[in-house]
Amino acid sequence: MYLGRVIGCIVSSKKEECMQGQKLVLLRPQLVNAENPMKFDAGKNTIVAVDGLGAGEGDLVLFCQGSSARQATGMKPLPVDAAIIGIVDSVHIGGQKTYP
């Protein structure tokens, strides 16, 4: 899994039938800086993930990719390759709380 920040959402009306009602959020991956673990570097990719947990813009989340994303609640039959599986409370590195 990877850490990501929710930066927005998308709206799509013409889509696979089974995707009706699924909330689609935009994520920017967050990588722990190699020199300063208190800092996240923003990844370049923009990932669209299904959100079944009610994440809000700005939240740090944990997301799963590939076919395993379909193990998230209610997603088994969906054509999805990314899902939010947790909202992150805190990150701990080297014995310190580095987030929030």
- The residue from 15, 36, 39, 56 that contacts a copy of itself (CB under 8 A) is 15
Q: Does 30 bind a copy of itself (CB under 8 A)?
A: yes
CA distance 25 to 84: 9
Q: How far is CA 87 from CA 12, 18, 19, 34, in A?
A: 24, 25, 22, 23
Residue 96 three-state SS: strand
Binding string to a copy of itself for residues 67 to 86, with x set by CB under 8 A, is what? xxxxxxx---xxxxxxx-xx
- What tokens does 82 get? 């990314």
Q: Does 87 bind a copy of itself (CB under 8 A)?
A: yes
CA distance 82 to 86: 12
Q: Does 21 bind a copy of itself (CB under 8 A)?
A: no
Q: Which residues bind a copy of itself (CB under 8 A)?
A: 1-3, 7-19, 24, 26, 28, 30-32, 34, 37, 41-42, 44-49, 52-54, 57, 62, 64-73, 77-83, 85-95, 98
